[in-house]
Amino acid sequence: MNGKVYITGAGPGDKGLITVKAAEALKIADVVFYDYLVNIELLDYCKDSCESIYVGKKSKNHTCPQEDINQMIVDYAKMDKTVVRLKGGDPYVFGRGSEEAIKLLENGIEFEEIPGITSGIAAPAYAGIPVTARNVSSSVAFFTGHPPVRRERDLQWDKISTGIDTLVFYMGVSNAPIIVNNLMENGRSKETPVALIRWGTCPEQEVVKGELHNIIAKMEELDFRPPAIMVVGEVVSISDKLTAVAEEAQMAY
């Protein structure tokens, strides 16, 4: 008799952003496979007998291949275990959750996907940047910063550069020069505001803002490193307005 697997989103970093349903799954788990960007304080929800297994992936430093993770999840479920696959953000947004789900289906194992708050929305929000705003941005698109941007055929830069108001690139720091150059070469104004958000929603969150033509220089000056997302669009300027309004309100108070 097989157990059940919960492919679960942990949210972007702030432990308070986990959903109630995800927390309840952790409470009943016999084993948890968790990722690099998961706040390990979330494991406090687990019972004492729960086994926690780290399977995180850093840039160029993967604990184990995805195929091995898939198989381990299957193996534990076949031992009649309740398994939680705890993934940063949302499992189906650049999280390989669908690959794990397919593997479970192939092995006849029951599973449930529990969505999580994705960093592409939460990190900008914590930086005062709404990904959409009336009269500013009525469209937003999410992209992985690697590896597709390394292959010109994977992204139609001529369409996304000017056809979408807000562009959010996950894992975009390493290939930021490629992203920026492609956007400018395909019609996006070089004065378009850009924000880079590192460790979004966490206490150590860092934000670097600039424009397409100078954001790379600012990154290099600060030695800005992953994990981070890149937000491109006029919505970035709203954070300056929110800051100004907040400062005025504080002074008035």
Catalytic residue, from 4, 15, 21, 57: name it: 57
170, 144 contact by CB (below 8 A): yes
- DSSP codes, 169-189: EET-STTHHHHHHHHHHTT--
Burial class (CB in 10 A: 0-12, 13-18, 19+), 146: middle
Of 81, 165, 171, 219, the active-site residue reads 171
**Tokens 């108001």 label which residue?**
165
Query: Which residues, in sequence order, are CB contacts of 42 under 8 Å at separation 6+?
Result: 10, 15, 18, 23, 26, 34, 86
Nearest to 134, CA basis, from 234, 231, 241: 234
Sign of the C-alpha dihedral computed for residues 95, 96, 98 and 101 taken in this order: negative
Contact indicator for 57, 64 with CB cutoff of 8 Å: no
- 35 annotated active-site: yes
87 is catalytic: no
Other beta carbons within 10 Å of 222: 12
Catalytic member of 35, 81, 209, 219: 35
Q: Is 57 a catalytic residue?
A: yes
**Residues involved in catalysis:** 35, 57, 171
